[in-house]
Structure 1
Amino acid sequence: MTSPLRRRNRVLGLSMLGVAGLMVGASFAAVPLYRVFCQVTGFNGTPQLGGPAAPGAPAGERSVTVRFAAATAPNLPWRFAPQQVSMPLKPGDQGMAFYEAENQAATPVQGIAVYNVTPEVMGAYFHKTACFCFDAQTLQPGQKVDMPVTFWVDPAMFEDPNTRDIRSVTLSYTFFRTLDDAQKAGVLASAGPHVGRLGAAP
């Protein structure tokens, strides 16, 4: 027969293993859960994704300026830049912009993009409906591609005292070799996956 002390030790040991397992699981879930929170709330400048199409701008609505920024990680031998510096957009109307990427290496190189908007308070009102982010892109040596993105700004921004005076929003993309690189750089938690892909045209 098992002694009461041995039984208690076994129960305690199993309980400690269970707690350790839960802690490990929670650590792996922290980044995806934080990302979902950011997507739902627009926290930390995370654009809203999916949902309804652009509703159309209300009559007489003023425009905001959408600016475009691009960057690449130091270990990615690509040239990556927006094809337009900025564009005026009436909240409620759909916009479309293009980025361009070129592999400057002598071998095929894969990259993956993450994005964000600033000011961060605009994350709840900036909706991306299709883009190239979070899709691995492999470019051949010297290959150049156009990468489109479609988006709209919610007219409700003018009803929010935190955003109604904003006249300019910046959409930024950064290309990394891998998502692990993006996570190490500390940008993955504030980004979100895309909905729909327009694709990259050679």
Structure 2
Amino acid sequence: MTQVKASQDRRVGNGTIMAMCFVFVGGMIGMAYAAVPLYQLFCQVTGYNGTTQRAEQYSDVILDQTLPVTFDANTSNGLNWDFKAAKRIEPKIGETVQVTFTATNRSSEPTTGTAVFNVTPMEAGAYFNKVECFCFTETTLQPGESLEMPVVFFVDPEITKAEETKNIKTITLSYTFYPSQPSKPVAAVQEKGKPVNGQL
């Protein structure tokens, strides 16, 4: 009887351990999926790693002081695009300005890319406010097609007060396009001989 009870206890113990392992693995997978959006949110809030801020409105304070901004454009392997940066400008701090990047598809077929960005020096990211940009948006270009992509931004005047940024002389906004698969639109697909929405 004692041996039977011990065997049952072992089975219960093993089952509990297995259940705990499944819960742990499931939790780790969930955390892995959440890590990217959470890290992106953290960067957007803090400006960490040169992540710029998103602004819904223009700055209402413009200083009588300029801060040169340069631009950099790159494409990763696998995307045969000619990607050109905007020209260097010297806006006043707090002034809202627009610049234009240009991308051209040099391949013989339609290709899709998605751009990511960063700002250097990284400390300036928290003060670089983008009102409009093309980052994280799928862009599809036909063979030989060119597209102008605007970026609207301003540099927060608070950049002149923070100890780590008050001596910054130049900011560089850099974009890199990576190849991506275009998202398929959600649409009703009519099967042969079957009605869609009650119609043949």
Alpha-carbon separation, structure 2, partners of 1:65 and 1:15: 56
Identity %: 39
1:159-174 alignment to 2 at 5 Å?
Answer: 159-174=161-176
Equivalent residue for 2:82, pick from 67, 79, 82: 79
Unpaired runs of 5+ residues, structure 1, are: 180-202
Residue 40 of structure 2 corresponds to which residue in structure 1? 35
Alpha-carbon separation, structure 1, partners of 2:19 and 2:126: 44
1:115-140, CA deviations, whole angstroms, 9 ceiling, x for partnerless residues? Answer: 11100000110011111111111111
Residue 143 of structure 2 corresponds to which residue in structure 1? 141
Alpha-carbon separation, structure 2, partners of 1:96 and 1:112: 20
Alpha-carbon separation, structure 1, partners of 2:50 and 2:151: 17
Alpha-carbon separation, structure 1, partners of 2:10 and 2:176: 58
Contact 1:72 1:78 in 2 (8 A): yes
Residue 179 of structure 2 corresponds to which residue in structure 1? 177
1:104-143 alignment to 2 at 5 Å?
Answer: 104-143=106-145
How many angstroms does 1:178 deviate by?
A: 2.4
How many angstroms does 1:87 deviate by?
A: 0.6
How many angstroms does 1:52 deviate by?
A: 4.1
Residue 151 of structure 1 corresponds to which residue in structure 2? 153
User: Normalised by the size of structure 1, how large is the TM-score?
Assistant: 0.82
Equivalent residue for 1:49, pick from 46, 54, 64: 54
Larger radius of gyration: 2
Contact 1:56 1:94 in 2 (8 A): no
Contact 1:79 1:102 in 2 (8 A): yes
Residue 19 of structure 1 corresponds to which residue in structure 2? 24
Alpha-carbon separation, structure 1, partners of 2:111 and 2:119: 27
Residue 90 of structure 1 corresponds to which residue in structure 2? 92
Alpha-carbon separation, structure 1, partners of 2:128 and 2:157: 10
Bigger relative contact order (CA 8 A; separation at least 6): 1
User: Normalised by the size of structure 2, how large is the TM-score?
Assistant: 0.83
1:148-194, CA deviations, whole angstroms, 9 ceiling, x for partnerless residues? Answer: 00001000011111111112101111111029xxxxxxxxxxxxxxx
Deviating above 4 A after TM superposition, structure 1's stretches of 4 or more consecutive aligned residues are none
How many angstroms does 1:13 deviate by?
A: 1.3
1:78 is matched by which residue type in structure 2? W
| 3-state SS of 2:148 partner | strand
2:83 is matched by which residue type in structure 1? F
How many angstroms does 1:51 deviate by?
A: 4.6
Contact 1:114 1:133 in 2 (8 A): yes
Alpha-carbon separation, structure 1, partners of 2:150 and 2:80: 21
